[in-house]
Structure 1
Amino acid sequence: MNDEAADVEVRELRYFLAVAEELHFGRAAERLGITQPPLSRAIRQLERRIGARLLDRDRQGVTLTAAGEVLRTEAGTALDAVAAAARRTRRAGDPERHLVLATKAGASHELLRGLLDAAAREPAVPPVEVLLCEVGEQAGLLRTGRADAALMHRPVDDLKGFATEDLHTEGQVAILPAAHPLATRPRLTLAEVSDVPGLPMARWPRLDGTYPDGPGPEVRTQSQLAQLVSLGKTLLVIPASSRAWQWPDHTAIPVPDAPPVTTVLAWPAPSHSRPLAALIRTARSLRTPAP
């Protein structure tokens, strides 16, 4: 890579991503709202700056080189980081700014309520706006700057690149239909809930968006999951505090041998935001010792 690589422009990366996704200069130019000649010049300039060919062009169309495949991933990350920096800076300059806290709907409900109450009493913490999301969405909201902090769970959530403060560690429970024979048990084991005839465990998407193999239904939202449990189509194992969202025809049974889950406050590292630092201090005061 030559010295000009440090001078790569955001515009060039955006143009390259359009071509990499469309694999066609004409369609990419139309998507960007420009004509094809300046798009071609920008890609050639980008290749000169980086010192590597990014695209192969022939009569059949456009393909990415090995270097182009790498840049497609890296450019997306870089553009997300630039957008996130702009959002955070814009909010920091707003005299009426709020801190945005992302959390899974129904998760860590009592802890969330305690944190909001404590933050409201702390003059250094600006108003906190709660951004409710589905499972696995907090990391994206933090990385794109749409949230300043998030309540997340170790080991199930993607904490890569974030600073964290451990707040609470707890066991897990199985949520299953109240009418099911197992609903009368005082406790269950992971082996038992993993092999219930006619009641397979729900399957959440992995961090890469794919689903694990298994007979259980694929779910993406808490509302999907709640209704499937109510209909006797699935069960799940979740942190005990997340049972706040369970329906009246659900039952929660402790699963003592399930791995413990720790609720953490997570934020992009490093952060130089004083309001966020005040929120972190407030959250730290609510920390409970591990069982």
Structure 2
Amino acid sequence: METRELRYFVAVAEEAHVGRAAERLGMAQPPLSRAIAQLERRLGADLFVRTPRGMALTSVGETLLHEGRAALAAVDAAERRTRRAAEAPGRAPVVLTAKAGASSELMAKLLDAYAAEPDAVTVDVVLSPPGHQALMLRDGRADVAILHRPFDDTSGFDVDELATEGQVLILPSGHPASTRRSMTVAEAGTISDLPLPRWPRLDGSYPDGPGPELRDLTQVLQLVRLGRAAVVLPESVRANLRDGLAVVPLSDAPRVTTLIAWPAHSTSTGVAGLVRAAAAL
């Protein structure tokens, strides 16, 4: 298969409609339809079920969508990392991505420790919404990522565990529930006047629910101070909290492991140095 064919297929699968996919790809509909039909003939399987409303994936199509996305991400990653290497041969900067507002104390220690190494290169830090870090690592926009298990997908990466901790509920300091010594996750979800925020999916949409649509931790904590929301976060967030916020431990929340992750095939000496610095902390 050619990458062009995979991009055509992924566009149709994601749009569930040939016309919308053709518009997204900037091409006419007939050649796109012919390309999909040719791909199906070559693979010897139906990838879609044609319906009056559009195109629905078959189970075979679901397999190709999963594999095709990974293959296209790998192609994009090869191009991006090669371009960065060409801009500064032997001294290309390392791009580190993390969730905005998360693990900030650990990252500060890591960057300071690595900068003290004699062969350190520049580290460009990219803060992104929750869930985007693994995607950026896969498609080459980042070389290293700070991830959190069990929330982030670490498949295909090499990882090193940096810290493991519990989770807490952050709420306004004057709220009646702020005096609790602990509570369960279910109890935290039933505080009707403090809905939990909704984070964006990878496609930019938000799940349904009563909570506010937010993209970073600064927004969340501001709404919590105003008495409009509560949020569940790893316990280490305590170090960054200011007045007006209370912390209640969650007795049954899964423990969160902070990881440093990098592509298993990476040959970057900058990535290797950053990982060594993280392991030494």
TM-score by structure 1 length?
0.78
CA 1:260/1:28 → structure 2, altered by over 3 Å: closer, same or farther? Answer: closer
Partner residue in 2 for 1:149: 144
- What 5-or-longer segments of structure 1 have no aligned partner? 1-7, 287-291
2:48 corresponds to 1:63: no
CA 1:155/1:69 → structure 2, altered by over 3 Å: closer, same or farther? Answer: closer
Q: Distance in 2 between matches of 1:33 and 1:195?
A: 45
* Alignment match of 1:79 (pick from 68, 72, 75): 72
How far residue 166 of structure 1 moved from its aligned partner, in angstroms, is 0.7
- Stretch moving more, 194-203 or 162-171: 194-203
Partner residue in 1 for 2:96: 101
Q: Distance in 2 between matches of 1:259 and 1:105?
A: 21
SS of the equivalent of 1:262 reads: strand
How far residue 111 of structure 1 moved from its aligned partner, in angstroms, is 0.9
Matches within 5 A, 1:269-288: 269-286=264-281
Q: Deviations over 1:41-96 (max 9, x none)?
A: 533442333222435669x5753462344433432332122112221222233315
- Stretch moving more, 275-284 or 93-102: 93-102
How far residue 128 of structure 1 moved from its aligned partner, in angstroms, is 0.8
Partner residue in 2 for 1:32: 25
Partner residue in 1 for 2:134: 139
* Alignment match of 1:42 (pick from 35, 39, 53): 35
- What 5-or-longer segments of structure 2 have no aligned partner? none
SS of the equivalent of 2:76 reads: helix
- Aligned-residue RMSD, C-alpha: 3.3
How far residue 165 of structure 1 moved from its aligned partner, in angstroms, is 0.5
How many aligned residue pairs are there? Answer: 276
How far residue 197 of structure 1 moved from its aligned partner, in angstroms, is 4.7
Contact 1:193 / 1:201 at 8 angstroms: preserved in 2? no
TM-score by structure 2 length?
0.80
Q: Deviations over 1:238-281 (max 9, x none)?
A: 22222355343212344566443221111222322222111111
CA 1:54/1:228 → structure 2, altered by over 3 Å: closer, same or farther? Answer: same
Q: Distance in 2 between matches of 1:118 and 1:175?
A: 30
SS of the equivalent of 1:188 reads: coil
Q: Distance in 1 between matches of 2:253 and 2:240?
A: 20
Contact 1:167 / 1:262 at 8 angstroms: preserved in 2? yes
Contact 2:169 / 2:250 at 8 angstroms: preserved in 1? yes
Q: Deviations over 1:148-181 (max 9, x none)?
A: 1111222233323322101122333331112224
Q: Deviations over 1:7-58 (max 9, x none)?
A: x111112223344455665654454344556445533442333222435669
2:10 corresponds to 1:11: no
